[in-house]
Amino acid sequence: MNAHIPFSDTQAPFEFVLFGGTGDLAMRKILPALYSAHRDGLLAPEGRIIAVAQNELDTAGYLDWVDVSVRPHLTQARFDESAWRGFRERLSYVALDASQPGAFSRLADALSPASSRQIFYLATGPSLFVPICRALAQAGLAPPTSRIVLEKPLGYDLASSTAINDAVGQIFSEDQIYRIDHYLGKEAVQNLFALRFANVMFEPLWRREWIDNIQITVAEELGVGGRGGFYDQTGALRDMVQNHLLQLLAIVAMEPPQSMEADAVRDEKLRVLRALKPLTEAALHQSVVRGQYRAGVVRGESVPGYLDESGIRADSTTETFVALKAEVENWRWAGVPFFLRTGKRLARRVAEIVVTFKRPPHSTLGPTALLAGSNRLTIQLQPDESIRLSTLAKRPGLGMTLQGVYLDLAFDRFFRQDRMEAYQRLLLDVIAGRLALFVRRDEQEAAWRWVAPILDLKTAPKPYSAGNWGPAQASALLARYGTCWSEEEN
Task: Determine contact, residues 119/16, Cβ cutoff 8 Å.
Answer: yes
What 3 state SS string does 46-70 have? CCEEEEEECCCCCHHHHHHHHHHHC
Is 1 inside a domain boundary? no
Task: Determine contact, residues 265/1, Cβ cutoff 8 Å.
Answer: yes
Kind of pairing, strands 402-410 and 386-394?
A: antiparallel
182 is catalytic: no
Mean pLDDT of the 443-449 span: 96
Confidence band, pLDDT 50/70/90 cuts, at residue 191: confident
Please tell me the least confidently modeled range out of 4-8, 133-137, 195-199, 430-434: 4-8
Task: Determine contact, residues 246/272, Cβ cutoff 8 Å.
Answer: no
Is 377 inside a domain boundary? yes
Give yes or no for residue 294 having a pLDDT over 70.
yes
Interval 99-119: pLDDT, tens? 888 899 999 999 987 666 899
Quick one: pLDDT at residue 362? 72
User: Is residue 224 domain-shared with residue 164, that is, in the same domain?
Assistant: no
Looking at 124-157, list the stretches that DSSP marks H as alpha helix, in order from N- to C-terminal side.
129-138
Q: Rounded to two decimals, what is the model's pTM?
A: 0.91
Q: Torsions phi, psi of 120, nearest 5?
A: -115, 110
Single out the residue of 190, 172, 377 nearest to residue 265, CA to CA.
Answer: 190
Give yes or no for residue 25 having a pLDDT over 50.
yes
Mean pLDDT of the 312-324 span: 95
User: Is residue 428 domain-shared with residue 383, that is, in the same domain?
Assistant: yes
| C-beta atoms surrounding 266 within 10 Å | 22
Q: What is the spatial order of strands in the sheet that 118-122 belongs to?
A: 91-95, 48-53, 15-19, 118-122, 147-150, 177-179
Please tell me the least confidently modeled range out of 78-92, 292-306, 350-364, 391-405: 391-405
CATH of the domain at 112: 3.40.50.720
User: Is residue 44 domain-shared with residue 152, that is, in the same domain?
Assistant: yes
Give yes or no for residue 8 having a pLDDT over 50.
no
User: Is residue 175 domain-shared with residue 188, that is, in the same domain?
Assistant: no
Please give the single-letter amino acid code of residue 138: Q
Interval 36-61: pLDDT, tens? 999 999 999 999 999 999 999 999 99
User: Is residue 137 domain-shared with residue 239, that is, in the same domain?
Assistant: no
Quick one: pLDDT at residue 6? 40
User: Is residue 71 domain-shared with residue 103, that is, in the same domain?
Assistant: yes
Q: How many residues does the chain have?
A: 490
Please tell me the least confidently modeled range out of 56-70, 321-335, 349-363, 440-454: 349-363
Quick one: pLDDT at residue 221? 95
User: Is residue 147 domain-shared with residue 207, that is, in the same domain?
Assistant: no
Is 2 inside a domain boundary? no
User: Is residue 478 domain-shared with residue 376, that is, in the same domain?
Assistant: yes
Is 350 inside a domain boundary? yes
Q: Which of 38, 73, 182, 244 is catalytic?
A: 244
Is 443 inside a domain boundary? yes
Domain boundary among 144, 179, 214: 179
**Average pLDDT of the chain, as a whole number:** 89
User: Is residue 254 domain-shared with residue 140, that is, in the same domain?
Assistant: no
Domain boundary among 179, 202, 234: 179
The share of the chain scoring above pLDDT 90, in percent, equals: 69
Q: Give 453's strand partners.
A: none
User: Is residue 444 domain-shared with residue 329, that is, in the same domain?
Assistant: yes
CA distance 242 to 91: 34
Quick one: pLDDT at residue 1? 38
Task: Determine contact, residues 417/389, Cβ cutoff 8 Å.
Answer: no
Domain boundary among 137, 154, 179: 179
Q: Could you list the residue range(s) of the whole structural domain that residue 191 is in?
A: 184-488
Confidence band, pLDDT 50/70/90 cuts, at residue 395: confident
Q: Torsions phi, psi of 54, nearest 5?
A: -80, -25
Give yes or no for residue 278 having a pLDDT over 70.
yes
CA distance 447 to 408: 33
* Number of domains comprising the chain: 2
User: Is residue 88 domain-shared with residue 64, that is, in the same domain?
Assistant: yes
Single out the residue of 224, 456, 215, 427 nearest to residue 326, CA to CA.
Answer: 215
CATH of the domain at 420: 3.30.360.10
Is 125 inside a domain boundary? yes
